[in-house]
């Protein structure tokens, strides 16, 4: 029998919530107080990882993970979450287009040689940056900017990554040496 993923989507906020397809097209809208159950055989669907997605006040989301959902099997997985961006943000990670509805974490497998492999998590956050005032040149002002913030892997994983990168570099050098002989 084919594996399916059943997700209960509840809007416990006072604002409508847009739901998205994995292509970025709106799947539909949940009115305040509305509940929908969706089912899919496709594990890559944005909501398939969860059995319950509750949209709360202030944009918060409560998630219950589905234990049957197949997590990425690669060694280097990056968790990506859109905390403060638009309702739907897009990033290209390891050559893959990743769509990020606000506060719905996504797991993305990255290659060992990808610079993002050194991070365990990326969050899209709104932060304040100091900039020269456009009105008063001798003064600074603070402006809100959207920024991708990265959280490093634990030191033990960074060391493991360094060893893997060294092995990769050695194997590439061996191939280049054989090709030139």
pLDDT digits (tens, 9 = 90+) for 16-53: 999 999 889 999 999 999 999 999 999 999 999 999 99
CA dihedral 25→42→83→108, nearest 10 degrees, is: -120
Whole-structure pTM value: 0.84
Q: Which of 75, 103, 77 is nearest to 164 (CA)?
A: 75
CB 28 within 8 A of CB 47: no
Percent above pLDDT 70 for the chain: 94
Sequence spans of domains, the chain: 1-70, 71-153
Residues across the chain: 181
- Using alpha carbons, list the distances in angstroms from residue 81 to 124, 146, 149, 150, 159: 6, 13, 10, 11, 25
pLDDT at 172: 67
Measured between its terminal Cα atoms, the distance across the chain in Å is: 54
CB 91 within 8 A of CB 123: no
Q: Given a cut of 70, is residue 1 above it in pLDDT?
A: no
CA distance 108 to 81: 11
Residue 100 has φ and ψ, to the nearest 5°, of -130, 90
> Mean of the per-residue pLDDT values for the chain?
92
CA distance 180 to 47: 50
pLDDT at 154: 96
């Amino acid at each position: 029998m084919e594996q399916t993923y059943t997700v209960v989507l509840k809007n416990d906020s006072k604002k409508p919530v847009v739901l998205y397809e994995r292509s970025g097209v709106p799947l539909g809208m949940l009115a305040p107080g509305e509940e929908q159950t969706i089912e899919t055989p496709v594990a890559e669907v944005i909501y398939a990882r969860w059995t319950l997605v509750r949209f709360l006040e202030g944009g918060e989301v409560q998630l219950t993970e589905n234990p049957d959902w197949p997590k990425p099997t690669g060694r280097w997985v990056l968790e990506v979450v859109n905390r403060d961006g638009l309702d739907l943000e897009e990033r290209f990670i390891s050559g893959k287009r990743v769509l990020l509805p606000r506060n719905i974490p996504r797991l993305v497998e990255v290659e060992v040689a990808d610079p993002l492999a050194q991070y365990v998590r990326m969050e899209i956050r709104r932060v304040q940056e100091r900039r020269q005032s456009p009105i008063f040149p001798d003064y600074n002002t603070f402006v809100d900017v959207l920024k991708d913030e990265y959280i490093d892997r634990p030191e033990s994983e960074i060391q493991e990554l360094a060893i893997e990168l060294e092995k990769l570099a050695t194997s590439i050098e061996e191939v280049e040496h054989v090709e030139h002989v």
